[in-house]
Amino acid sequence: MSVSRDRVNSGEPVTISGRYQFKADDVWHSVPNHYVAVQLCIDPDCVYGSYDYVYTDANGEFNITLVPNQTGYYRIGTYNEDPFITTETYARFDMVVLQKADLTSFDAQRDTDGKVAIVGHLQFGNFTPSPAPVEIQFSPTGNGDWTTQTTVDASRGPSESGGYLFRTTIDETRPGYWRAVYRGVPDAYQSDISGSVFVG
């Protein structure tokens, strides 16, 4: 069995290919026109997840293209009613699906007290992590010398049409550029960086 890739962004397809055979008298024999179950499991016992199936061709080979919806592992299984052939066999491989994360809005302005007021939205796709730390970064030039001034947890904000609202106020008198950074979660969520906003 093989897979076209084992790490994708949410919504991207993968193709699983394989061949179903049994061994008799030291010779491998293909099993044509046979049912193969394809499960994306999200727990060790494969109680939860999605289920698909495919049939082998005349050579015992199969191909199926799927869109996995979350990180887990694929379990490819067969069942054979012949008592002289192993009844159940499984193959498995890990699958990483990075859920979408999008900083849909970001703004920074000088308030009446001379501080910088930050507001923005962070939107997710199928699932929402908690916490969801958003770094608020400052650069005097906007040319790469970014430093994190504070971090806010977007998952604690209200859910609005643009995503989860985050806001904060920072005591910074220097003019310069501001942006938001969400670093994502390894093997679970994508990262994103907002556009920069100049505050004089």
pLDDT tens profile 106-163:
999 999 999 999 999 999 987 889 999 999 999 999 998 999 999 999 999 999 999 9
**Contact assessment for residue 14 and residue 8, using Cβ atoms and an 8 Å cutoff:** yes
- Strand-pair category, 7-9 with 88-98: parallel
* pTM for the structure as a whole: 0.81
Q: What is the mean pLDDT of residues 162-172?
A: 96
Sign of the dihedral defined by the CA atoms of residues 99, 105, 106, 111, in that order = negative
Quick check: 109 and 84 in contact, CB under 8 A? no
pLDDT band at 80 (very low <50, low <70, confident <90, very high): confident
DSSP letter at 44 equals T
For each of the domains in the chain, give its residue range(s) and CATH number, in order of start: 2-98 (2.60.40.730), 101-199 (2.60.40.730)
194 vs 67: CA distance, rounded Å: 28
User: What pLDDT digit, counting tens, does each position of 10-59 carry?
Assistant: 999 999 999 999 888 899 999 999 999 999 999 988 888 899 999 999 99
